[in-house]
Amino acid sequence: MSEQSLVKKRRRSVYRIRGKFFDFSCALPAIIFFVIFTYYPIVELFRYSMTDWNLMKSEYHYVSFKNYQWLFTSSVGWKRFSSSLRVTLIYTIADVAASCIFGMLLALLFDRMSRAFKFMRTAVILPKYVTMTASVMVFELLYNTEYGLINRALSAFKITPIPWLTSPDTALLSVILFSVWRSVGYAMMIYLSAMKGLSPEYFEAASLDGANGIQKFRYITLPLIAPTTVFLGVTSFLAAMKVYQTVELLTGGGPYESTSVIVYWIYALAFRNYRVDRASAVGVIFFLILLICTILTMNVTDRRVNYDA
C-alpha cells in the first residue's frame, strides 16, 4: 500500500472519529438532562426507601428493606397499597378506554372541513387547555348534591339526587367523567390527524368492491390507525396511572379513600404522615409496575401492529 493511500485512510478514520464525536456532543445535553432529572432521582428514591427518614426527625439511618417489608407483609401497608392500586387501575382503564373510544367516534363525526365542524372540533378540544383549577370549580358546582345543575336536571325527571363527590359509590365515577371530559378532545385530534393521512385510494377501491361505511371502518380505517391507537393508549395509560391533581382538587382522596390513587397516597405518606421512607418504597414499586406494563405493551403491539401503513 502506497504512502498516499495510507494518508487517505488515516484522514477517513479521523473524519469518522470527528463525526462520531460531533454526534455525541449534540446528544450530550439531552443525556445530561435525563441523568440529572430522571435517572439520578430514581437512584435517590431507591436510596431513601432504604432509610427510616421521617420529616419529624433531624437525621435518618439505613434500615435495609424494612420499608418494603412493611409494604408487603404488614396488614396496614398491604391493605392501603392494594386498595390504592385497585383504584388506580379502575381509573386508568376506564379513562383510557373511554377517551380512545369516544375520541375515535368524534374524529369520525367531525371529519369534515366545513366551518361549523371546525368550530365543533375547537369546542371539544378546548377543555384540554382550560386550567385544572377553573375546570374543577365548574364541576364542583355541577356535582353539588343540593343545587348542582346535574341533580336539578335529574330532579326534573323525578330521579333522586346523586351525591356525586360525597359517596364512595359515585366519587370515582365522578373523577373519571371529569378526566374523560378533559382528555377526549386530545384523543379526537390525534385520531383525526391520523385519518387525514390515510390514502383515499383504499376507500375508493373498497367502494368499487361494494363495501359500506362500517366495512370500510372495520377493515381499512381501524388497521391503518392501529399505530396511532397504540401511541395514544400507551401515553394515556402512563398519564392516567400517574394522576394526582384531579383527585387532589376534586375529592382529596375521599370519601373513605375511595379515590385514593397511588400517587396521592405517596404524597399523603410523605407530606401528611411525614414518612418519606415509606413513600419512597411505594414510589419504587410503582415505578417498576409502570416499567413492566410499558415493556409488555410495547412487546405485544410490536408483534401485532403493522407500522408500515
Give the contacts of 69 (CB within 8 A, at least 6 positions apart).
none
**And the C-alpha cell for 254?**
375521599
**pLDDT at residue 57 in the model:** 86
| Range with the poorest average pLDDT among 78-82, 140-144, 274-278, 303-307 | 303-307
Nearest partner of 56 among 218, 270, 245, judged by Cα: 270
What proportion of the chain, given as a percentage, has pLDDT over 70? 94
| Range with the poorest average pLDDT among 20-24, 35-39, 63-67, 68-72 | 20-24
Does the pLDDT value for residue 219 go beyond 60? yes
Spell out a b/e string for 16-41, using b for 16 or more CB atoms within 10 Å of the CB, else e: eeeeeeeeeeeeeeeeeeeeeeeeee
Nearest partner of 254 among 144, 175, 156, judged by Cα: 175
Instruction: Work out the number of other CB atoms within 10 angstroms of the CB of residue 257.
Output: 18
Please check whether residue 241 is in contact with residue 92, taking contact to mean a CB–CB distance below 8 angstroms. yes
**And the C-alpha cell for 251?**
375529592
Query: What are the residue ranges spanned by the domains of the chain?
Result: 75-304
**pLDDT at residue 21 in the model:** 80
- d(Cα 280, Cα 6) in Å, to the nearest integer? 59
**pLDDT at residue 277 in the model:** 94
Nearest partner of 65 among 56, 57, 73, judged by Cα: 73
| Range with the poorest average pLDDT among 161-170, 177-186, 192-201, 235-244 | 192-201
Superfamily of domain 75-304: MetI-like (1.10.3720.10)
Does the pLDDT value for residue 298 go beyond 80? no
Tell me, what DSSP letter sits at residue 128?
A: G
- d(Cα 73, Cα 85) in Å, to the nearest integer? 16
Does the pLDDT value for residue 12 go beyond 80? no
Please check whether residue 190 is in contact with residue 230, taking contact to mean a CB–CB distance below 8 angstroms. no
Give the global pTM. 0.88
| Range with the poorest average pLDDT among 5-14, 20-29, 223-232 | 5-14
Q: How many CA atoms lie within 13 A of 263 on its CB side?
A: 17
Which pLDDT tens digit goes with each residue over 108-152? 888 876 777 778 888 888 898 899 999 999 999 999 988 889 999
N-terminal to C-terminal alpha carbon distance within the chain: 50
How many residues are given for the chain?
Answer: 309
pLDDT bucket at 261, cuts 50 / 70 / 90: very high
Using only C-alpha atoms, the chain has a radius of gyration, in whole angstroms, of 26
Does the pLDDT value for residue 14 go beyond 60? yes
Average pLDDT over the chain, rounded to an integer:
89
**And the C-alpha cell for 175?**
373523577
Give the contacts of 165 (CB within 8 A, at least 6 positions apart).
140, 143, 171, 174, 250, 251, 255
Most confident of 6-10, 21-25, 121-125, 170-174: 170-174
Does the pLDDT value for residue 308 go beyond 60? no
Does the pLDDT value for residue 2 go beyond 90? no
pLDDT bucket at 67, cuts 50 / 70 / 90: very high
| Range with the poorest average pLDDT among 2-16, 43-57, 73-87, 292-306 | 2-16
Name the E strands within 99-199.
none
Q: What is the DSSP string of 261-291?
A: -HHHHHHHHHHTS-BHHHHHHHHHHHHHHHH
Does the pLDDT value for residue 164 go beyond 90? yes
Which pLDDT tens digit goes with each residue over 192-204? 989 888 888 888 8
Burial class (CB in 10 A: 0-12, 13-18, 19+), 244: middle
pLDDT bucket at 306, cuts 50 / 70 / 90: low
Please check whether residue 106 is in contact with residue 183, taking contact to mean a CB–CB distance below 8 angstroms. no
Does the pLDDT value for residue 301 go beyond 80? no
119 vs 66, residue with greater confidence: 66
